[in-house]
Chains A and B, each alone.
Chain A
Amino acid sequence: MSNSKLPVTVEVADFASQIEILDGVFRVVARGFGQIRTELKPGLYKARTQVGTALQEKMFAINEGVTTAPVVLDPVLFASAAPLQGTSTSHEYHQHAVAIAVDNAEPPLILGSGSSLLLSLRDPGRAPLEQTKQSRASYARGFDGCSLCAADGSELINYDQAATRDINLGFAIRNAELDPGHYILKVEQVGLKPVALPVVTVPGWASQIFIQVEEGPSGAATHHPALAEATLMMVPLGQPFHPGDRYFRLTEVARQALQRGRNIFDRQLLDELLDSKFGNPVLGLFAAHLLLLDPQPQLKLLRIVLDNLDAMLGFDFPDLIALRRRMQQLDPPTSPAGIIQDPLVFPPLLRASWDILAAQAMMDDDLMPAGSVSRQIADRLCDNGIWLAWQPRPLEMSATQGWKMLSDDELLSKKGPDRERILSVFEQAEKYLNLDSNLGLLQVAKTLTKPVVREKLRQFIRSAAASENLPLEQLGELVLRLAKNYPWEKLLRKLNELDVDDAISERLSAVQRTILPALLLFRQQLAADQDVSADDWKQLFASLKVPRAVLLDNLGELARLAAGLEVRQAEDNMTGLNIVLANADHSKTRVLQNLRAATGLGRKEAEELVAGAPLTIRDDVSKVRAEAEVLRTLLD
């Protein structure tokens, strides 16, 4: 067998997906994008191309002394939320609907000028055709719930009213002319968590968001917008819709590659893209992030991509702020004047861009300024594929019934140390019992549990409130205090229990969910007499990726959560206890006197407590003492 190699060309018919060539033992011997020109030893090979899970492959032979004809693979039919030609989810009637909206055959909403936003919701499956009279209304709700808001949250467009719909063909669509700027797309449907996504419109460019409506998870009857698979295109303002546009297809291939975390673009393709300056700047954003996936990114190429994107999207485009900062890390500027310190006032479109910035936010207090949308959403992010998304409403713990939280002001303004007061009750408990008091002591103690916990919380908040930008070491100490102060194992069991009715889990931020298991692990380490090292909490902070002020807020919230749960737990544990008192004097005045003397409570508060205290009179004083001891343990 000859070892001399022979030339061969392998290409995919639309030149828009990655190709691999395998040898006879399944090793990849060549890889490229769109077209590969290579040399191979005589033998048998297989060429394949893949986008997502869609695949095309073809075997071919290289024979000595014979010129091998080009091996051409058919285009891969992949799914796309946009009605692009050559995809498995394209319909002419959906393409027509987009063309009408984009070409302004149907007048757009006029809310400004200089940029535009198209929102397309469509179901490319068979569901629109299979609906009955009975099911149509329910199915149509899958297209509901979208609204466009200004950056301050005020609603600008309610697509339920504004969109043109044809449910029989499975689409809802509307174009709007807008002032260039920052907007928020909200999607709120019954039974689904509300989600918000950033929208940035740019002077001279039309943004087009395509969202596929699909059936709900496993057998759910309702349909919903699949936001994680959404497609974004940007084209020059006024450009008609071309469903066969090569850049649209490349953008979709790049989106799927980014989703898989694999750079599929080769140098040749990037050069080509750079020459044509990206017919769609979103492709440029994807290309930049794909370049960054390489272990050693091609910085020269990346810089050209960023310069091109700067010219198209503007220097302050949020994703570009992120990419330039990353570039700066990889290739530090030679002079201080070249250092980029732009703040991020509005979140970027891509999660990968956010991650670049969030990794720096812990150490750069100016990156996400106080009051900015970026700061507000930093702990509310939710999973949404490659796109950044967050829960649109702030998380409100205080609304939960049964274990209402106290505000920081309320906590900080309290004068006396409640812990001292409650402990004094128990110090005198025996005396009271010996005096045959008929005080509803256990009930009083139950009520006063809250002040004890409150004091613990107050101390935590005080230490945390000193500064919003504490050094990392102090934040680490706070985390350890939080771990030590509260019996998280028990509290989380209680939380699980309450979650059934109260759905508390929905109100925890992403940051809190990450910290909670770490607190448990730190407690386990401490219980095993192992130190929690600085490396441990640094690792935790690195995974959180939020500004320090946001972390501090979340630690406070967790302390409040713990306090609320501790009260609830103490109360529930006491529910089964009989309030048993020794042979008693039933005089109400005497009870009140004793109570006020022991606790320092006001008359009104003491009367309320006594009025609510169930009493059982028994001679078995030792049992009463034992029960008081139980309470003391609970409170400690």
Chain B
Amino acid sequence: MPRNDYAILMGISHYADPGFPPLEGPPRDVARFHQWLIDPQGGDVDPQQIITIVSPTPPPNVAPDQTPPTFVDFQTKFKQLVTGGGSNIQYHSESRLYLYFSGHGFCEYQNAMPHAAIYAANASRWAHYNIAGTLFALWAKEAAVFGEIVLVMDCCRDAEATKTLSPTFLPAIANLGPAGHVKMFCVYAAPKGGKAQERPIPELNNQVHSLLTHALLDAFRHAPPDEKGKVTGQIIKGYLEDSWPGVCGKIPADPPEVYIPPNGDITFFRQPSARLSQKIHLTAWLAGSPVEIYDQHNQLFASLTLPETNAATVILNWADQTSEPVPISDGTLNIPLPAGFYRISLAAGAKQQLFQAGGADVEL
């Protein structure tokens, strides 16, 4: 049964103050995140329950301090979501709330709590109007409106000694008891003081996107399940951190920070993750030799027998007795594998190597 989840996605690409250069990524990244949310294989969220707030295109001709989206634009939608337009909070304790923010951002230097805010589009050097995503998520947690909260702050976290988070201006929560059960999973694009980056992504026709959203969606798609078949927050965190250097390529970027709920992890999926393409280049092609691939537990995962060199495919036999053809080209096998660590063995262990699926080509 699909979950009854909710989301607010905010992407700010144009700012009134020229001190904030325009961004290309936020509207595209909001669109990508939205796409993942409504995908039954992804977030599986009802599109009617997703609120999207992005910079209008072209930017409207208004006074700089009225440039949308503003703090009020977000706060109004948020209040509407948690009250259903009425005066009382409507509780969705079995649901998850996704809060996604993309734009220029910062965090408070003195504040030790993990946090970030994005600048509202009408921010200036004087009026640091901002939307502190963390504070809204924390309010939703304290109010126990939702059972789970997933916060994504895809913005810089310049540690500002001279700027403060805007309060939420939401009613104080008197009874914090139920908040203890609410799980909050947070992803920040950079560590405190670090920079988020957007850049052309080769896999996306060199369109400019944010690195974090790209890597996070990749993690959602590929992170492997644990022994119980669950892709948990901890696994998403581990996969994201591990894949980060590869996502950045030759130009390093500050790594994301992920916070797992201290009161118990959340589960993103209970379905097999998408597979990664792994190239295995055999320096000496020994037709008839067995090739075996072992998984992270050192258990046989897949096997094949090398055909003649002119074959275009070979049958790969999985450990669960199923099989499928995989292509061969120029002595290179192209094998789809779930993310994880593997050992490949040629000719009963005469040659073997450890590798990570989706990583560098294996030379055997």
Name A's B-contacting residues (CB within 8 A). Answer: 1, 22-28, 42-46, 53, 55, 59-61, 63, 259-262, 351, 355, 358-359, 381-383, 385, 489, 492-493, 495-496, 499, 505, 510, 513-514, 516-518, 520-521, 525, 530, 536, 539-540, 543, 545
Known: A25-B238, A381-B161. A42 touches B355 (CB 8 A): no
Closest beta carbon of chain A to B247's beta carbon, Å? 13
Q: Which residue of A lies closest to B359 (CB)?
A: A59
Closest beta carbon of chain A to B269's beta carbon, Å? 13
* Total cross-chain contacts (CB, 8 A): 134
Q: Which residue of A lies closest to B193 (CB)?
A: A259
- Give chain A residues whose Cβ lies under 8 Å from the Cβ of B64: 493, 496
* Assembled-state Cα–Cα distance A336/B282 (Å): 76
Query: Is B354 on the interface with A (CB-CB < 8 A)?
Result: yes
* Assembled-state Cα–Cα distance A514/B109 (Å): 12
Name 6 interchain pairs, CB-CB below 8 A, sorted by A: A26-B241, A42-B297, A55-B245, A518-B164, A520-B127, A540-B164
Interface residues in B87-134 by Cβ distance below 8 A to A read 108-112, 124-129
Closest beta carbon of chain B to A67's beta carbon, Å? 16
Known: A24-B340, A43-B296, A499-B125. A383 touches B238 (CB 8 A): no
* Assembled-state Cα–Cα distance A397/B242 (Å): 51
CB–CB B354/A545 < 8 A: no
- Give chain B residues whose Cβ lies under 8 Å from the Cβ of A355: 110
Q: Which residue of B lies closest to A355 (CB)?
A: B110
Query: Is B24 on the interface with A (CB-CB < 8 A)?
Result: no
* Assembled-state Cα–Cα distance A266/B252 (Å): 27
Main secondary structure of the interface of B (DSSP, over half): loop
CB–CB A510/B191 < 8 A: no
Query: Is B150 on the interface with A (CB-CB < 8 A)?
Result: no
- Give chain B residues whose Cβ lies under 8 Å from the Cβ of A351: 109
CB–CB B356/A46 < 8 A: yes
Interface residues in B145-201 by Cβ distance below 8 A to A read 158-164, 166-167, 169, 191-193
- Give chain B residues whose Cβ lies under 8 Å from the Cβ of A385: 193
Besides A540-B164, A543-B164, 11 other A-B contacts (C-beta < 8 A): A24-B340, A25-B223, A26-B241, A42-B298, A43-B298, A44-B343, A45-B341, A61-B343, A358-B110, A513-B162, A513-B163
- Give chain B residues whose Cβ lies under 8 Å from the Cβ of A518: 164
Known: A25-B238, A59-B355. A53 touches B252 (CB 8 A): yes
CB–CB B235/A27 < 8 A: yes
- Give chain A residues whose Cβ lies under 8 Å from the Cβ of B164: 514, 517-518, 540, 543
Known: A46-B341, A46-B356, A499-B125. A383 touches B296 (CB 8 A): no
Known: A44-B343, A61-B354. A27 touches B299 (CB 8 A): no
Closest beta carbon of chain B to A198's beta carbon, Å? 16
Known: A25-B224, A45-B341, A496-B126. A543 touches B110 (CB 8 A): yes
Which of A1, A28, A59, A539 has most B Cβ within 10 Å? Answer: A59
Known: A59-B341, A489-B65. A1 touches B297 (CB 8 A): yes
Query: Is B256 on the interface with A (CB-CB < 8 A)?
Result: no
* Assembled-state Cα–Cα distance A270/B313 (Å): 57
CB–CB B161/A382 < 8 A: yes
